[in-house]
Each structure stands twice: as C-alpha cells, then as structure tokens.
Amino acid sequence: MRPLIFDVQRFSIHDGPGIRTVVFFKGCNLKCPWCQNPESMATKHEIAFYPERCTENRDCVASCANDALSFDNGFHVNRRRCEECKECTVNCFSDAIRIVGKESTAEELMQEILRDQEYYKISGGGVTFSGGEPTLHIGFLQEMLLLCKQHDIHTNIETNGCFSWNKFKAILPLLDMIYFDIKIADNNNHKRLLSQGNERILYNIEQLINAKAPVHFRMPLIPKFTCTDKNLRQVIGLLKKFGIEKIHLLPYHSMGESKGEKVGSPLAKLGFKPFTPHKLKTVRSRFECENIETILYN
C-alpha cells in the first residue's frame, strides 16, 4: 500500500539549505508528548475539523451513515464509528471537514516536486522528506530518492533515528543530507516518555558516523522533557562519546497543540511558555563549554 502524505510544503527555508519542498509522511513509531505534527502520528486517514470555517448547516451529519458526527455542544466526531467513507467532506461546502492523508504514486508526487525545480537550482535547495517518520516507508522513499537523483535534486531526510539500519543503508547513497534527532539520552526515560527505548537510535548514530554519512544532529528543547539539567548533561556525554562536535537546537513552540485538536489527538496540551533569550543562552553555553558548536533555530 502506498504511504499517506499529509502535506507538501513548498518554499520552506528551515529544513535544509536553500529553498525546499518538504514532503510530510503520515505514521510515526515514537509518541513524543510535544509532537509538532500530531496529524502525522497515525498511518491511516483522519478527519480534521476546522471550526472557524463551519457554518453549522449540518449536511455533514445527515450524510454520515454511521452516525459518527454530531453537534451536541459543538461539533464532535466519534472516531470509533467513523469508517472514513469521506461523505462528510463531500457534503461540507464550507471545507470545515477535511481528510488528512492522501495516497500518491511516486510519479505523481515527483510532478509536484518538480514545480519548483528552478528555485532549487537558484538557491541550492531541494527536497526534504519528513513526517511523521519517513523511514517507515523505506521502499517508497527509495523510489522517490531515485527520482530526485535523476533530476539532480538535492535530498534531505528528517528522522527520529529509530529505523532498521539494514534497510536504511540501501538509501544512504541517495541522501545528500540527514537531519537526525537526539531527544532523550537515558534509555529508560526514552522508553517511558516516547514509547520505545533508544538502543536502536544509538546504534544508528554509530553506524552513520562510521559510514561518514552527511548527518546533522538536532535536539528539540522541550521544558520538563528534554531540556532538563540531567538530560542536557547526558546528551552532551553522548555527543562527546561519539565525537559529535555540532548540534542543532530546536526550541519548543506550541503550534502542534492547535493542530492536535483538529484531529482529536490524545496528546495533552503542555502549555509551556516560550524560552526566554537568557534561558536559550544558558542552554547553548552548556554545549559550547564542552566545545560543541550550537546552531539555534528560531
């Protein structure tokens, strides 16, 4: 079965060099409480509701054969009853109800990517495959990477690192860049908070370094999860152990929380405040005091 794509974002400047097209796959094998793309976590189609568009004419409710929709104290979707027939989206003329996730052949997706080929050439940009976790769809991803290489398009992947090395090494020669996230250093905490341990992630870090792969390591800074004194100290220890001299720091923001509401995500709202400049300076200094260069994302 073809993987589902939930978004293709054009003219991105934050997911690799130059102007890029970012392809977002549905499906992830970790369950990060701070997920910025909660609509990507499930591999299947999902109904998303945009209340600001709704005119409440209730044609969608009448069209649902499974009684999965209601307007009792606001719009609700019974996701256990929903069979993804899409009739509600057909009968929602205000476009308040949408299906998240679209099947596409590699050739169809490539045609969309090629729309901005000239911008890639001018800016030194290309395509970034993200998610979710794109390595869950390694066969399709390999097909896309081969097509990109045929058109001389720079390729990047954003990964949580939790993949099979034996499968991943088949696509390694097709990647010009790899963005690899390091989140929680302690295996027990990683398993408790993210649903899986990090043994495979640490193994893959070592394999990529040994292969001299074009990998750039990143760390999301999440209050009470990754950005704690203990975890920062342990992550710095890991970086030094592997001889990693640079880390990209991604400060927390709350954009994912509003998206989660639209698809009925079970993730709780964290409600953390943005980092102050002083706090970010303090975090950066911890790495730089250990001779680890930091690149801070806005």
pLDDT tens digit string along 8-27?
Answer: 999 999 999 999 999 999 99
Residues 291 and 212 in one domain: yes
Residues 105 and 148 in one domain: yes
Amino acid at 188: N
Residues 156 and 78 in one domain: no
Mean predicted confidence (pLDDT) in 109-129: 97
Domain around 116: 4-43+101-296
User: Alpha-carbon distance 156 to 171, whole Å?
Assistant: 11
What's the CATH number where 133 sits? 3.20.20.70
Computed over every residue of the chain, the mean pLDDT equals: 94
Q: Domain tally for the chain?
A: 2
What's the CATH number where 74 sits? 3.30.70.20
pLDDT tens readout for residues 167-185: 999 999 999 999 999 999 9
- Assign 221 a pLDDT band (cuts: 50, 70, 90): very high
Task: Determine the pLDDT at residue 77.
Answer: 87
What's the half-sphere exposure (Cβ side, CA atoms, 13 Å) at 93? 5
Residues 74 and 165 in one domain: no
Task: Give phi and psi for 225, each to the nearest 5.
Answer: -120, -75
Residues 251 and 186 in one domain: yes
Mean predicted confidence (pLDDT) in 160-169: 98
Percent of the chain residues past pLDDT 70, beyond the cut: 100
Residues 94 and 194 in one domain: no
User: Alpha-carbon distance 90 to 52, whole Å?
Assistant: 18
- Assign 132 a pLDDT band (cuts: 50, 70, 90): very high
- Ranges 38-52, 70-84, 99-113, most confident: 99-113
Residues 15 and 92 in one domain: no
Residues 26 and 56 in one domain: no
Strands 246-251 and 215-221: parallel
Mean predicted confidence (pLDDT) in 142-165: 98
List the one residue out of 190, 185, 193, 296 whose CA is nearest residue 251: 296
Task: Give phi and psi for 175, each to the nearest 5.
Answer: -105, 130
List the one residue out of 121, 196, 131, 123 whose CA is nearest residue 157: 131
Residues 76 and 176 in one domain: no
Beta-ladder partners of 179 = 158, 216
Is the Cβ–Cβ distance between 296 and 284 less than 8 Å?
yes
**Structure tokens that stand for 34 in this block:** 């701070």
Residues 85 and 178 in one domain: no
Task: Determine the pLDDT at residue 76.
Answer: 84
Range in 24-28, 87-91, 109-113 with the lowest mean pLDDT? 87-91
- Assign 125 a pLDDT band (cuts: 50, 70, 90): very high
Residues 156 and 234 in one domain: yes
User: Alpha-carbon distance 42 to 52, whole Å?
Assistant: 24
Mean predicted confidence (pLDDT) in 131-159: 97
Percent of the chain residues past pLDDT 90, beyond the cut: 78
Task: Determine the pLDDT at residue 1.
Answer: 61
pLDDT tens readout for residues 67-82: 999 988 778 888 888 8
Residues 27 and 130 in one domain: yes
The alpha-helical segments, DSSP class H, found in the chain are: 59-63, 87-90, 106-113, 117-123, 138-150, 165-168, 187-194, 199-210, 229-242, 255-262, 277-288
| In the predicted structure, residue 87 carries a pLDDT above the cut 70 | yes
Q: Which of 64, 85, 100 is the last residue of a domain?
A: 100
Range in 147-151, 257-261, 294-298 with the lowest mean pLDDT? 257-261
Mean predicted confidence (pLDDT) in 119-145: 97
| In the predicted structure, residue 116 carries a pLDDT above the cut 90 | yes
Amino acid at 121: K
Which has more pLDDT, 89 or 287? 287
Residue 119, sorted as left (phi over 0), alpha (psi -120 to 50) or beta, turns out to be alpha
- Assign 267 a pLDDT band (cuts: 50, 70, 90): confident
Mean predicted confidence (pLDDT) in 208-212: 98
